[in-house]
Structure formats: structure tokens, C-alpha cells
Amino acid sequence: MSAAPARSGASAAVLLVLGGLACQEVGASLAVMLFPETGPLGMVMMRLVFSAVILLLIARPRLRGHSRAAWTSVGLFGLVLALMNGLFYLALERLPLGVTVTIEVLGPLTLSIVASRRASALVWAGLALAGVAALGGGGWERLDLVGVLFALGAAVAWAGYILASSRVGREFPRLDGLALAMALGAVLSLPFGIADAGAALLRADLLAIGAAVAILSSTVPYALELIALRRLPAAAFAILMSLGPATASLAGFLLLGQHLAWLEILGIALVILASIGAVRAARPPRGASPDEPLAEPLG
């Protein structure tokens, strides 16, 4: 393959990744708009249920022939999925979209720093801490404490998601493990979602928007990123995914009218730089497989 087609393919892959990020944040913005009708946990339930249905139809996972350890891995993965989505949406109810995603990114960022064996990891950790301090520089009174705690919980859950998805990716072929875990996460979310949304779940228009959120936040980004990964090195892909807080802030401003103080914008920029630096410094985990599920947020 000549250099020109290769560059063209890489450029197209970058656009696919950015398009996936945009879809994710549009989906998150739609979810926030539905909170007055469904509540955050009702939205989580619809998101997980529709995502599970789509994944099960696509993957058609085989249920027989798996070990007890494999099913335990799926169970833990499903629990982490439900927790991550629930905490993320509960944080979104109280914090701006950009701030929520920035705090959530601290989970995989911390995991990358811990996994790195280079002294430069301490630099990226310090930069991330400076970014968090700058987020509060716009006035900690503007940041709801409970919302921050929910976002931090989502960050921990996202780190757990990465570890769980890696394990399930080794034990199940293709998307089978993810589809089964998503189905379990959907089941776990049912009682909380029904209690939060109530009669709103009987409205066809809200269910349709809930399905759109699932497609925009999960199905479309996942498909675009799978295509992009065939044309981009994994490290380049991870760096592009680090731009999530920026796309979230832009979506929050354009779609939800959420304005950020300049220090908060600086904090988001510092966390993005720390994420990029940590990705470049981290070594690939031993035994990693290209068939493992993507370690991305479901926000």
C-alpha cells in the first residue's frame, strides 16, 4: 500500500473516532433532557435494555460450553456495567456534562499511570491533579458534592470495566461476553429504573428516545471505532479517545446550554493532556488481545 492511501485511510479513521465521540455525547445530552420525565436511573435502564437487545441480536452469543469461571467473569462485568452507567447518569443529573466526563476519565487515567513502569507517569499524575484542582477553581460551590462523588464512583467503575472487559474478552469470542454482560446489567437495572421512571415507561415517545440514546451512545460509536481500529494503531486510537472531555464540554454547551468557567476549561484541558501522556507512557498489558472489548465509557 502506498503512503498516500495509507494517510487517507488514517485520516478517515480519525474522523470515524471523532464521529463516535460526538455520537456518544449527543446521546448523553438526549439522556439529560429526559431526566425530568424518566429520572436518571430510568434512563439508565432504557439505555442498558435497548443496548442489550441490539447486542444480543448482533452477537447471538452461545450459552453452552462456558466454564463457571467464565460465567463469574460475565457476572462481574454486568455488575460493573450497571454501576458505571448508573453512577454516571446520577452525576449528570447534578454536574455539567463536560465536568462529569472529565472526572470519570480519572478512572482509566489512574489505571494507565499505575500500569506504567516509567518515571514520567508521575508527571502525568501531577498534571491530572492540577486539572482536578482547576476544575474547582471556577468555584467549588458550583460543583455539587454528591454529583462529584457519583462521578468519582463512575471513574472507579470505568477502571473496573476495563479490567473486567479484558478478562471477558479472553474467555468469550467476538462480542459474546459483552452481549451477555450487557443483558445482565439490564436485568440488574430493572427494579431501580422502574421505580425511578414509573408510568413514563408506558410512553412510546420516551421509549423511542431511550432507544435512540442506546444507539447513539453505544451501537454507532462501537461500530465506528471497530472500523477505525483496523486503520489506526491502538495507541493513536487511545489518544483520540482521550478527547472525550472536550467533546462532552462542547456538547454540553451547544445542546444543554452548560457554560464553564475558564478555570474549569483549563482543568479539562490538563486532564486531556495527562490522559494523552499516560497513554503514551503506558506499556500494553501482557496477553492483550485485539479481540477484547473496547475499554470505552458508556456515557
Instruction: Provide Rg for the chain, Cα atoms.
Output: 19
Q: Tell me the per-residue pLDDT of 237-270, one tens digit each, with 9 for 90 and over.
A: 777 777 888 888 888 889 898 888 888 888 888 8
Residue 89: predicted pLDDT = 96
Local structure of residue 120 (DSSP, 8 states): T
Q: Is 117 helix (H, G, I), strand (E, B) or coil?
A: coil
pLDDT at 178: 85
Q: What confidence score (pLDDT) does residue 287 get?
A: 43
Q: In terms of C-beta density within 10 A (0-12 exposed, 13-18 middle, 19 or more buried), how is residue 202 classed?
A: exposed
Confidence of residue 52 (pLDDT cuts 50, 70, 90): very high
Predicted pLDDT at 291: 40
Domain ranges of the chain: 3-281
- For 37-52, what is the mean pLDDT? 94
Provide the whole-model pTM. Answer: 0.83
Task: Of 176, 166, 205, give the one whose Cα is nearest residue 37.
Answer: 205
From the list 87, 81, 270, the residue with the least C-alpha distance to 162 is 81
Residue type present at position 183 = A
Beta carbons within 8 Å of 125's beta carbon, 6+ residues apart: 110, 113, 274
Q: What is the pLDDT of residue 263?
A: 81
Cell of 255: 445542546
- pLDDT tens-digit readout, 286-295: 444 444 444 4
How far apart CA 115 and CA 288 sit, in angstroms, is 13
Cell of 220: 454507532
**DSSP codes of every residue in 216-258:** IIIIHHHHHHHHHHTTS-HHHHHHHHTTHHHHHHHHHHHHH--
> Under 8 Å CB-to-CB from 13, ≥6 apart: which residues?
227, 228, 229, 230, 231, 232
Q: Of 295, 294, 296, 291, which Cα lies nearest the Cα of 170?
A: 291
| Alpha helices per DSSP H over the chain | 3-59, 68-92, 97-115, 121-137, 145-171, 176-197, 204-214, 220-229, 234-241, 244-256, 262-281
Contact 14, 79 (CB under 8 A): no
Give the pLDDT confidence of 4-33 residue by residue, as tens digits. Answer: 555 566 678 788 888 888 998 899 999 999
Rounded Cα–Cα distance for residues 67 and 109 (Å): 32
What pLDDT does residue 271 have? 86
Give the range among 66-70, 75-79, 231-235 with minimum mean pLDDT. Answer: 231-235
CA distance 37 to 164: 33
